[in-house]
Amino acid sequence: MNKFVLKKGDTIGVVAPSRPLWNIQKEVGLGLERLEKSGFVIKRGKYLDKHFYYSAGSKGERVEDLHSMFVDSEVKAIICATGGSSSIDLMRHIDFNIIKNNPKIFIGYSDITMLLLAIERNVPGIAVHGPNAYELSYISESSFNQFLGVLKNFQEANIFSEDLKVIRHGKVSGKILGGNITLLNALLANEFLPNFDDKILFWEEIGEAPAMLSFKLRELELSGKIKNIKGMIIGFLSDCVDKKYPQDNRKIEDIVLDVFSDYDFPIVQWNYFGHDVPDFYSFPYRMTCEIDTKKKKLALR
């Protein structure tokens, strides 16, 4: 049996590595309640409800909570409460040996992308790109059940979809890796980014105009870090429009085809992960992804 498989009665730890919860306590509570109703025990981090300016506690308190959850033998998986903008505070203070010696499922997205990628770089095979506790309060029943499938049958929660937009044709198979593009790009110049060679890159974003999406993609391409990827999946782009200059609203398909014109890997858009989507599906890093644009099919298993 996979050592990361959870069962009813197991404990899930909750931490807030980034923003405070003062104005989203209700939503986070509803998300955790949904897990409890599914048979899991919830253990809250010591500093989960702290409010230190724009963060849920000082960097020391947030790191302590993270380390404590990994060390705690009762905790079988860890989910982040929400995203924000201050996970970056923790990067040079996380003891990855603690995680390596106490591996367990670690779930989150958005600002948590930084932690997911750094953990994947140092302790491969435990990071899951999926809804934070906040999103669990509203995601659809089907995507919540798929989330439970990841917990109960780690890395074997299949997704099969024909609902995707083909931007560039191709047929590939490879392991998936990615997250929020802003946070991914923040790791380009340091030691925390895992190797993207032969991976299928997935990314999503919120609140960025097309001009900035183009900039971020150019930045990523120029880094050389993704020159050997096999394919690209674009998630939901929430509020990524230019309201001040609507004439600048270039389509995402035109942007990516321009930026990656020197490559031939397939590119699709699949709006089932990212901010503000009710159907938010979870997938562990290193899950195998198959894309067949001729059949308009995407499979994760």
Instruction: Judge if 145 and 165 occupy the same domain.
Output: no
How confident is residue 246, by pLDDT bands cut at 50, 70 and 90? very high
Average pLDDT over residues 11-28: 98
CATH label of the domain that carries residue 131: 3.40.50.10740
Average pLDDT over residues 24-28: 98
- Find all residues with CB under 8 Å of 162, minimum gap 6, and list them: 295, 296, 297, 298
**Predicted pLDDT at 1:** 39
Instruction: Judge if 121 and 88 occupy the same domain.
Output: yes
CA 192 to chain CA centroid, Å, is: 15
Instruction: Judge if 27 and 148 occupy the same domain.
Output: yes
Q: What does each C-alpha distance from 220 to 39, 101, 217 come to in angstroms?
A: 41, 32, 5
Domain tally, the chain: 2
With respect to residue 41, please indicate whether it lies within any of the assigned structural domains. Answer: yes
Give the model confidence (pLDDT) of 124-149 as tens digits: 999 999 999 999 999 999 999 999 99
Q: Which domain holds residue 128?
A: 11-152
Instruction: Judge if 148 and 205 occupy the same domain.
Output: no
Instruction: Judge if 88 and 186 occupy the same domain.
Output: no
With respect to residue 254, please indicate whether it lies within any of the assigned structural domains. Answer: yes
Portion of the chain with pLDDT greater than 70, in percent:
98
Instruction: Judge if 23 and 141 occupy the same domain.
Output: yes
* Listed residues 152, 184, 199: the one ending a domain: 152
Helix (H) or strand (E) holding 180: strand 171-180
CATH label of the domain that carries residue 237: 3.50.30.60
Instruction: Judge if 255 and 271 occupy the same domain.
Output: yes
179 class by beta-carbon count within 10 Å (0-12 exposed, 13-18 middle, 19+ buried) = buried
**Predicted pLDDT at 300:** 87
Instruction: Judge if 165 and 255 occupy the same domain.
Output: yes
Instruction: Judge if 83 and 20 occupy the same domain.
Output: yes
Q: Are 143 and 278 in contact (CB under 8 A)?
A: yes
With respect to residue 86, please indicate whether it lies within any of the assigned structural domains. Answer: yes
Give the model confidence (pLDDT) of 58-77 as tens digits: 999 999 999 999 999 999 99
Give the model confidence (pLDDT) of 157-209 as tens digits: 567 787 899 999 999 999 999 999 999 999 999 999 999 999 999 999 999 99
d(CA 171, CA 286): 18
Instruction: Identify residue 34 by its one-letter amino acid code.
Output: R
With respect to residue 5, please indicate whether it lies within any of the assigned structural domains. Answer: no
* Listed residues 102, 121, 152: the one ending a domain: 152
**pTM here?**
0.96
DSSP, residue by residue, 218-277: HHHHHHTTTTT-SEEEEEEEET-S-SS-GGG---HHHHHHHHTTT----EEE--SSSTT-
With respect to residue 2, please indicate whether it lies within any of the assigned structural domains. Answer: no
With respect to residue 170, please indicate whether it lies within any of the assigned structural domains. Answer: yes
Give the model confidence (pLDDT) of 36-50 as tens digits: 999 999 999 999 999
With respect to residue 203, please indicate whether it lies within any of the assigned structural domains. Answer: yes
